[in-house]
A and B are shown apart, each in its own frame.
Chain A
Amino acid sequence: MTLAFEDRIRAAQTPDLFRRYFREASDAMSLERLAAYQTEALKEIVAIAHARSPFYQEQFRQAGVRPEDIQELSDLAKLPFTTKDDLRQDPWRFLACDKADVSIIHVSTGTTGGKQIYVLHTWADYYMHDLAPGFPVLVPVGRGDMVLNALPYEMSSAGLAFHKSFINSCGATVLTAGKGGAYSTPEKTVQMIRDLQPNCAITAPSYAVTLHETALKEGFDLKSLPWKKMWLTGEGSSPAFRERVENLWGTRANMYYGTLEGGVVGIECDEHRGYHVTESHVILEVVDPKTGEPLEPLEVGEIVVTCLARRDAPLIRYRTQDLGYFDPDPCPCGVPLPLLHLRGRQGDQIRINGIDFSPFYLEEFLMRQPEVGNWYQFIVKKGDNDRLKICTELAPKVTATPELADKLSSKMEYAVGVPCEVEIVDTVPRPRGKTVRVVREEATP
């Protein structure tokens, strides 16, 4: 009789590439060394995909590219893109392993619409490869730390991905609070926090506010806990909204950027000067959304991800539809990993008088108004709008008046330059899933 789990662990092999490079922290490694690693990793991934993945075999054949054509990182541009539509077709075709080796399947939240996307991981990809590089500088969590994991555990990858990392990579204690699941309520989560006193937390920006409001109702002040670290992920957030969360929780809150399809992409440090790109896990490109041509640093374009720790289900040059740009300046925190700034998502832009705005750009200016509460919605029509309609709650102890609505409209227009119409409401609906900040109404004829 064998011990199945122990046997599995004993049999597990970390690829030689990871062994050679990640005996040191991946967030302290020099860029030269990371580039050397990425070059090797890219060649290996392309060779694996070419040899075993039906989808990529076909893609490479159509593009007329062979593994030996990829010798340098700059050769990445020779490879074809992978799109969301590609992933929506037949997820099994991506596999570079037996179907039976797949251990875990996640499904997209549906934020971008269309058919569901399934993302497949083998046990080796999910644990051995993904957890080989560590981020002890950016994620200084270890044994003895207790992490509140208030992210959705089911279907999406968010909750489970951090659960896995905090337990297996960091050796921390995880509170499986979840978010919006069958048993997971804000009240139970606050009770958990109260009873068990975690010192780290990861959740979505809007849920951080929900938990604060719930704690307040229960007469419990989240700021009373000695928080060591907090991360926000799963939704975008403007710096001003994040600052509000920090004030409510009494701790620094750093953003974490990842995608279901591509995994971890960037982690903020305490400087809040952008996301440090996790170059151990991804090669990141920013390309012109129309032409696909790579862009220069500081030029906003579509973020393209090539996964380096996904060897059994490769993902090469995946177009995320997220917008962002590289910042060439080094970060004062000392982490060499390059900085990425996000600028929302292509399909989420709000068009007013012919100008496209990221909802988070608009949120930034709204959240700078102290009279505005933490819950709001932008009400827009599909296509172009002649004004931005904002439904918002007010901050506690602020009284609604027509003059205040005018003042807020004027201040918003000062900042963004388009007509704004603020409607003050008692309550904005609280979501169970992802927070809906932009409500798109059908255009009236």
Chain B
Amino acid sequence: MIIDAHAHLSDTEYGNKDLYQAQLREAGIERAVVVPGGMMDVRRMTDYITGRAKPEKPIPDNAYVSAACSLSGGNMTGFACIDPHDPKGPETLENLLKAGFRGLKLSPMSHQFSFASKGIAELTEICGTFGVPVYTHTVFSPGASTAKFVSLSRRFPKVNFILGHMGFGPADQEGLEAAVAYDNFFLETSTGSFLHIKESVRQAGPSKVIFGSEFPLSHPKAELSKILLLGLKADDLDKVLGKNIAQLTGMVPTGSDAR
């Protein structure tokens, strides 16, 4: 069972659900965890990272993700994206988790918050109650850095945390050290560098690394190639390509995976 643990869906020409499903078929991947996209136009991603551009649509389109999941025959699972500054954020998250979403997706670049803020603590508490993970990317801004995300994971040891893209930059040691040290801290591989993914599997173990694509910025097949090139044993490869994220989200195996 291969699960793409991280793809953004948006009602755009470059990131819509039909395009994504076509790319999944091309990659031979059936299942996915999808999150709202389109808050930033990823075709000019560097402009956002350097601060030259601000997110044009900071309100996450969870409804689009919900609709895509409903039409996927159980192959897609959604993570709800919530702005921690939104006073209705906790209520929205609860409702979406009750409606079938299986994780929280945070977007520091879109919403500019600190991982140490009350809003984040409240959302994390809810994730703990529902038994779902917290996924985020990290940025160079000190309040939303990898180190701050690690601190958050230490404050909530019963909640699972997934660090997107292996952290910030090509070889984020703070993220890797946390994955080694803490049971509830995982690394997601999309757009990560091959050597760092390899080192992470070696140091943190295959149960701590999760395959993802970061569609539409990258292609599931391209990201999958990096994992296949690691040369892992079959059991270890299964963990990275699907079992780890299935365990964290409670995704039920379907088809051949159910046997």
Contacts and interface: CB of A to CB of B under 8 A. Distances in A.
A186 B226 CA distance: 66
Interface in A415-433: 415-420
B145 A410 contact: no
A415 B87 contact: no
B12 interface: no
Interface in A292-319: none
Contacts of B207: none
B118 A410 contact: yes
A188 interface: no
Interface in A388-438: 403, 406-407, 409-420
Interface string B74-107: 0000000000110100000000000000000000
Interface stretch (B31-39, B56-64, B108-116, B247-255): B108-116
B143 A413 contact: yes
Contact of B118 (A406, A411, A414): A406
A415 B118 contact: no
B117 A409 contact: yes
B144 interface: yes
B72 to A, nearest CB: 34
B119 A414 contact: no
A411 B85 contact: yes
A418 B148 CA distance: 10
A316 to B, nearest CB: 40
B108 A414 contact: yes
A417 B141 contact: yes
A44 B2 CA distance: 79
A36 to B, nearest CB: 40
B93 to A, nearest CB: 16
Contacts of B113: 410-411, 414
Nearest to A368: B112
Contact of A415 (B84, B142, B148): B142
Interface residues of A, number: 15
Interface string B21-58: 00000000000000000000000000000000000000
Contacts of A403: 87
A416 B118 contact: no
Contacts of B119: 406-407, 410
B116 A419 contact: yes
Nearest to A419: B116
Contacts of A406: 117-119
B85 A414 contact: no
Contacts, number: 50
Contact of A417 (B84, B85, B120, B145): B145
A249 B242 CA distance: 59
Nearest to A418: B142
A407 B85 contact: yes
Tell me the dominant secondary structure on chain A's binding face.
Answer: helix
Contact of A410 (B87, B114, B142): B114
Nearest to B85: A407
B87 A414 contact: no
B143 A415 contact: yes
A410 B119 CA distance: 8
Contacts of B116: 410, 413, 419
A358 to B, nearest CB: 15
B148 A411 contact: no
B84 A410 contact: yes
A410 B117 contact: yes
Interface string A25-41: 00000000000000000
A413 B145 contact: no
A418 B151 CA distance: 13
**Which of A407, A410, A411, A413 gathers most chain B CB within 10 Å?**
A410
Contacts of A418: 142
Contacts of B112: 411, 414-415
B253 to A, nearest CB: 39
**Which of B87, B108, B112, B145 gathers most chain A CB within 10 Å?**
B112
A419 to B, nearest CB: 6
Contacts of B120: 410
A353 to B, nearest CB: 11
Nearest to A369: B112
A428 to B, nearest CB: 24
A417 B142 CA distance: 4
B91 to A, nearest CB: 13
Contacts of B141: 414-415, 417
Interface in A6-59: none
Nearest to A417: B142
Interface in B139-166: 141-145, 148
Contacts of A409: 114, 117
Nearest to B114: A413
A416 B148 CA distance: 12
A409 B119 CA distance: 11
Contacts of A417: 114, 141-143, 145, 148
A410 B108 contact: no
A398 to B, nearest CB: 14
B90 to A, nearest CB: 11
A410 B120 CA distance: 9
Contacts of A407: 85, 119
A329 to B, nearest CB: 17
A416 B116 CA distance: 12
B150 to A, nearest CB: 13
Contacts of A414: 108, 112-114, 141, 143-144
A422 to B, nearest CB: 11
Contacts of B143: 410, 412-417
B85 to A, nearest CB: 5
Interface string B113-141: 11011111000000000000000000001
Nearest to A408: B85
Given A407-B85, A412-B114, 16 more contacts: A403-B87, A409-B114, A409-B117, A410-B85, A410-B113, A410-B120, A410-B143, A411-B112, A411-B114, A414-B108, A414-B113, A414-B114, A414-B141, A415-B142, A415-B143, A416-B143
13 contacts: A406-B118, A410-B119, A412-B143, A413-B143, A414-B113, A414-B114, A414-B141, A414-B143, A415-B141, A415-B142, A416-B143, A417-B142, A420-B114
For the complex of A and B, the 4 pairs showing the least CB-CB separation, nearest first, are: A417-B142, A413-B114, A410-B117, A414-B143
Interface of A: 403, 406-407, 409-420
